[in-house]
A and B are shown apart, each in its own frame.
Chain A
Amino acid sequence: MSRYRGPRLKIINRLRALPGLSKKKPNRSGERLVKKKHYKPINSSKYPVRLKEKQRVRFNYGLTERQLLQYVRIARRAKGSTSQVLLQLLEMRLDNIIFRLGMALTIPGARQLVNHRHILVNDRIVDIPSYRCKPQDLISIKDQQRSRNIINKNINLSQKNKMRVPFHLNLLKKKSQYVGLVKKIIDNKRISLKINELLVVEYFSRRV
């Protein structure tokens, strides 16, 4: 699948902080001065609000429009709240779990690790970033010095930045090698991205 390769700061300035896309912070000083209109639009549409929220999810998790639409369809078919299931599906992606474990500093970085076959799931190489992890999955690093060096460096950096491993995951150190364990499906309160997932479902509600 294709991924976004363009300027990240431009996206972050427009859509507010996206921890998955980049560690950069939106810069308010660099914004162009725009003359504020003093009148209120007659029909203030909710569409731009929904679109913006959808774009935040899409850029944060590094998805294409079609992928996100597919996730919404799966969430619709599942039992329970569509919006909650959607976020759980996105959070259980392999690239996202590697990012949340601190093995990569961003989700695009995690994608590259997976693509370059540095990651093993249950002792098998998985090179698909959208691979859906299940509870009790064991995520380890390929038994190569180069792979270990990359991931150890990333973990040290993320620990220096005081990034916490979420409750649904576990980062263990076995024989000087880091291993991640998926304990359970994430609870929606623990999601790092501050998002109103209902708006995303509403955006897609006429297309599903």
Chain B
Amino acid sequence: MARSTDPLVVGRVIGDVIDLFVPSVDMAVYYGTKQVTNGCEIKPSLTVNRPNVQIAGRFYDNSLYTLVMTDPDAPSPSEPNLREWIHWLVTDIPGATDPSQGRELLAYMGPRPPIGIHRYVYALFKQQGPMVMVMPPQQRNNFSTRAFAAHYGLGLPVAAVYFNAQKEPGTRKR
């Protein structure tokens, strides 16, 4: 059996969060100057403020997108009984813009991993049209990206990226 080299497969993002898909849209996520690449390590202190997300596309194309950010390793990777913890949910993002142009259903919450190395997944879905009757999740825990996409007919993601983060050691005062 050939071993897959797709970082989303190796990092078990495909399987735990989303199904296998073919990327069709370019999405870039930046925390300050640092670009998020699959499997990269970012300190939670750098992710307090919402990132700059750039979605490729054409202005005259009336495409709308939904962006979901979740943590499939909450509260700990060995026992993820709160999987998935949703950190951010934005719908109706026009193509070639960023999430500030969309409708924020759930405000951004920075990663705060209690223990272990957590994966934080950004999944971008293409909408069929404007999402009218969308109910924001009542709670952040036990969210399912798959179920959400199926419920609103979003299909498979068009782009995804993930990064790792873990609790930073406290500064020891002597």
Instruction: Say whether A and B bind each other.
Output: yes
Which residues of chain B are near A198, meaning CB under 8 Å? 76-78, 116
Given A76-B41, A80-B39, CB of A202 within 8 Å of CB of B10:
no
A45-61 interface code vs B (CB 8 A; 1 in, 0 out): 01000100000000000
Are the CB atoms of B10 and A76 closer together than 8 Å?
A: no
Query: How many interface contacts (CB-CB < 8 Å) are there between A and B?
Result: 43
Q: Given A80, A205, A207, which contacts B116 in the complex, CB threshold below 8 Å?
A: A205
- How many interface residues does chain B have, given as a range? 10 to 19
Which residues of chain B are near A13, meaning CB under 8 Å? none
Are the CB atoms of B117 and A76 closer together than 8 Å?
A: yes
Residues 153-208 of A contacting B (Cβ, < 8 Å): 196, 198-199, 201-202, 205-208
Which residue of A has the minimal Cβ distance to B113?
A205
Which residues of chain A are near B39, meaning CB under 8 Å? 79-80
Are the CB atoms of A79 and B76 closer together than 8 Å?
A: no
Which residue of B has the minimal Cβ distance to A202?
B116
- Dominant SS at the B interface? loop
Tell me, rounded to whole Å, the shortest Cβ–Cβ distance linking B6 to chain A. 11
Residues 81-123 of B contacting A (Cβ, < 8 Å): 115-117
Q: Given B11, B76, B164, which contacts A46 in the complex, CB threshold below 8 Å?
A: B76
Are the CB atoms of A206 and B169 closer together than 8 Å?
A: yes
A152 at the interface (CB under 8 A from B): no
Given A46-B76, A76-B41, A196-B78, CB of A202 within 8 Å of CB of B11:
no
Q: Given A76, A81, A201, which contacts B12 in the complex, CB threshold below 8 Å?
A: A81
Are the CB atoms of B10 and A79 closer together than 8 Å?
A: yes
Tell me, rounded to whole Å, the shortest Cβ–Cβ distance linking A134 to chain B. 16
Are the CB atoms of B7 and A201 closer together than 8 Å?
A: no
A205 to B39, CA, bound (A): 16
Q: Given A80, A83, A196, which contacts B10 in the complex, CB threshold below 8 Å?
A: A80
A22 at the interface (CB under 8 A from B): no
Which residues of chain B are near A46, meaning CB under 8 Å? 76, 79, 115
Are the CB atoms of B7 and A79 closer together than 8 Å?
A: yes
Which residues of chain A are near B41, meaning CB under 8 Å? 76
Which residue of A has the minimal Cβ distance to B80?
A198
A112 at the interface (CB under 8 A from B): no
B140 at the interface (CB under 8 A from A): no
B166 at the interface (CB under 8 A from A): yes
Known: A79-B39, A80-B39. 8 other contacts (CB 8 A): A81-B11, A81-B12, A82-B164, A201-B117, A202-B76, A202-B77, A202-B115, A205-B166
**21 residue pairs from A and B, CB less than 8 Å apart:** A50-B78, A79-B39, A80-B7, A81-B10, A81-B11, A81-B12, A82-B164, A198-B76, A198-B77, A201-B116, A202-B78, A202-B115, A202-B116, A205-B116, A205-B117, A205-B166, A205-B167, A206-B115, A206-B169, A207-B169, A208-B166
